[in-house]
Structure 1
Amino acid sequence: MSLKDWLLPDELQSASTASMRLFAAANQTSHFWLKQFTGMAVPFGFGVAAGVLMLNRLIKPSEMEDFREIVVGILTFVSVLAGFMVTLMLFTGRTAGAGSLSVGQTPKYIDKVTYLLFSQALTLAVHIVCAAVCLIWLLLNAIESAGVATTVMFFVALGLIVLSMARSLLLPFQIYEVHQFEFESLLESKIAERDERLASQRAQQGRSLT
């Protein structure tokens, strides 16, 4: 028995195994790390840059109450998004049409759903980190209303909310992608049933002629 079996709870071990499987499935795409870094850095950098350009200076103590309302709004928004993301992940892949997939289609479907779950888990992590940054900002604001740390955390929160929104915009297309795969499978299944029925009718006609 290894040391982790003595020290780590089973749920942590299961979470570690599940995360490695998700990364292994997602890592099969070309230039995985570069694309993920770019996809995360660009929206985040845009949000930070927009915040810097809007403020163009360090936040003064007299202005903190206005920004507190903004941060509370961001916290509420990402909390709602996080709850929706958990619900979406629970139902991703649980569709009735998956049962009609052929043996050749099933591995492709599993890979697709696994990658979508990885993407959704990453989006959920962004929501959680954004909420954590907002809470840290509120704590810093309560302790010390002015300071470089407070300003930096505010800019980070703006960058994360833009990243959260950018990744959330992908969700309708991901849902459509899963359903589109099932639609194609359903169409192929109906075509196969029709061909089988026509073949059976031809066979019956052939026997009646003889």
Structure 2
Amino acid sequence: MGIGFSLRHFTALMIPLALGGWAGWSIVPAFAIAQREDALFALLAGVIALGSLLAGFMVTLMLFSGRIDNASLLTLEELEAYTERIKFLLSSQAQTLFASVLSAAFAITWLCFYALQLDQVTQRIVGASCFGFTFVALLRCVLVPLQIYEIHEASLDDAVSDRRERERAKFKPQG
């Protein structure tokens, strides 16, 4: 996992963060103008609940993604390939976990800043951060089913390959 890997992950984080942040920066003043505390509180309660739910799900997914069944039966090459794939998945899932937690944390911070009646610029910055990390978390959640599929696909492909090798060994001439 070299610089290219890190650059791809950084880019995949920053572009959605910037888009969500821009949306948040644009939307936050509408809550101040409308003076609808109930709408703001409902939105932020939803963000906090979503962030918490996603964080819990990501932790559980990471626990199961990090396992390699029957690792001792794999060749060194198969184990290395499997390990690289799992490290990539875990890295992606960790980013989703952090985005989810930060989304909820910025929502709570925004509620505190709103209650303290801090200036609009400060609230916009925190609101933009909240929206940015929420967008990152939601976008990365779209990848979760694909990641789960990839894990199961690799496991199934290995099982078929192992069975194929055993079947070939049965019919291989002895001697």
| TM norm structure 2 | 0.86
Of the candidates 97, 122, 143, which is equivalent to residue 149 of structure 1?
122
Identity of aligned residues (%): 28
Q: Among 72, 96, 102, which residue is 1:123 paired with?
A: 96
Name the counterpart of 1:86.
59
Q: Give unmatched runs, 5+ long, in structure 1.
A: 1-26
Aligned residue identity for 2:158: S
Match for residue 163 of structure 1 among 124, 131, 136: 136
Which of 42, 52, 75 is the equivalent residue of 1:102? 75
Larger Rg computed on CA atoms: 1
Aligned residues: 175
- d(CA) in 2 for partners of 1:60, 1:37: 35
Match of residue 135 from structure 1: 108
Residues 121 and 161 of structure 1: CA distance in aligned 2, closer, same or farther (over 3 Å): same
Residue by residue, what CA displacement relative to the aligned partner does 1:178-206 show, whole Å, maximum 9, x if unpaired? 2222122111111111111112xx54xx9
Q: Give the RMSD, CA atoms, in angstroms.
A: 2.4
2:167 to 165, 169, 194: 194
Deviation for aligned residue 1:68:
1.9
SS at match of 1:50: helix
Q: 1:75 to 1:158 in 2, by over 3 A?
A: same
Mapping for residues 35-114 of structure 1, pairs under 5 Å: 35-54=8-27, 59-60=32-33, 62-94=35-67, 96=69, 100-114=73-87
